[in-house]
Amino acid sequence: MSIQAAETDARVIVFCGVLFMAESAAILSPDKQVILPRLECGCGLADMATPEQLLAARKQHPDAVVVTYVNSSAAVKAESDVCCTSGNAVNVVNSLPADQEILFVPDRNLGTYVRQQTGRKIILWDGCCPTHDAIRAKDILKARENHPGAKVIVHPECRPEVTELADAVCSTGGMFTAVEKSRGSEFIIATESGMIYPLEKAHPECRFHPVTETMICPDMKKISLEDILLSLKNMEPVVTVDAEITRQAKKALERMLAIPRN
């Protein structure tokens, strides 16, 4: 989303997401005004890594390259070597020298998935998305009982016990591609429940089921239509990032963008 914000000609970006997304948009688009209707929209995963903690980890692993998931604060990105998304994390890691030690921040589940896909030496940060981490293998098995024949698509922020049961493991954007390539017509979706609507809109011929009814990120649901209208009227709250943090974080983001995507 931040990349799309950078590519648009619009002068003002109203981000209907969480703070780390708006920060990334502000870093990549310094000439644009980035507005987040509610500044308290945080991220439980992003909060699990601070720049101070990352600096301490760097001292413990001085030879490691820090690969940081974009679901992190601007200040953490500024202390990182390269960023990644859930969709390009494997490519980012594979772009590094084969014998390179890697510190993957802050999602241990995504890091585990990348380690499985690449066979690389990856040190995992002990963080997770509370929403995705709450899914268990029994939830997948129960969903399959309720919807026999449905394909299971899982986000890589889920636990290994969950991704191992999936028909496809992919980012939110990759889920659209997975549905397009599949011959199935019914799908169980293991990610935030807000993904169901855009998938239904893109593929009205298919049926989509959330893996559980509790797959709701409270922060992603905070912004209302009224909040957006008020922000557009007042042109605030504006998201700003410290100049030095912007300079350092932009390096990590630009290194990510320079790596070819699938």
Q: Per-residue pLDDT tens for 155-184?
A: 999 999 999 999 999 999 999 999 999 988
Please tell me the distance from the alpha carbon of residue 181 to that of residue 175, in angstroms, as a whole number: 10
pLDDT digits 0-9 by tens, 196-247: 999 999 999 999 999 998 889 888 889 999 999 999 999 999 999 999 999 9
Query: CA distances (Å), 8 to each of 1, 4, 31, 174, 197, in order?
Result: 11, 6, 12, 21, 24
CATH, domain 46-128+248-257, list 3.40.50.10800, 2.30.31.70, 3.20.20.80, 3.40.309.10: 3.40.50.10800
DSSP 111-148: HHHHHHHH---EEEPS---HHHHT--HHHHHHHHHHST
Instruction: Decide if 252 contacts 35 (C-beta within 8 A).
Output: no
Which of 3.40.50.10800, 3.40.630.10, 1.10.645.10, 3.60.15.10 is the CATH number of 2-42+220-246? 3.40.50.10800
Residues 30-46 as b/e (b if ≥16 CB within 10 A, e otherwise) read eebbbbbbbeebbbbbb
135-210 homologous superfamily: NadA-like (3.40.50.10800)
- pLDDT per position as a tens digit, 100-117: 999 999 999 999 999 999
pTM summary value: 0.92
Mean pLDDT of the chain: 93
Residue 5 confidence (pLDDT): 65
The CATH 3.40.50.10800 portion of the chain extends over 2-42+220-246, 46-128+248-257, 135-210
Mean pLDDT in residue range 41-50: 93
Q: Report the pLDDT value the prediction gives residue 260, as an integer from 0 to 100.
A: 72
Between CA 72 and CA 74 the distance in angstroms is 7
How remote is the C-alpha of 226 from its chain's centroid? 26
Sheet with 102-105, edge to edge strand ranges: 82-84, 65-69, 102-105, 122-124
User: Which alpha helices (H) appear in 102-240, and where do they start and end?
Assistant: 108-118, 130-133, 137-146, 160-163, 172-181, 196-202, 225-234
Question: Is there a contact between 100 and 108 (Cβ–Cβ < 8 Å)?
Answer: no
pLDDT of 4 > 80? The answer is: no
Name the token pair of 132. Answer: 């995705």
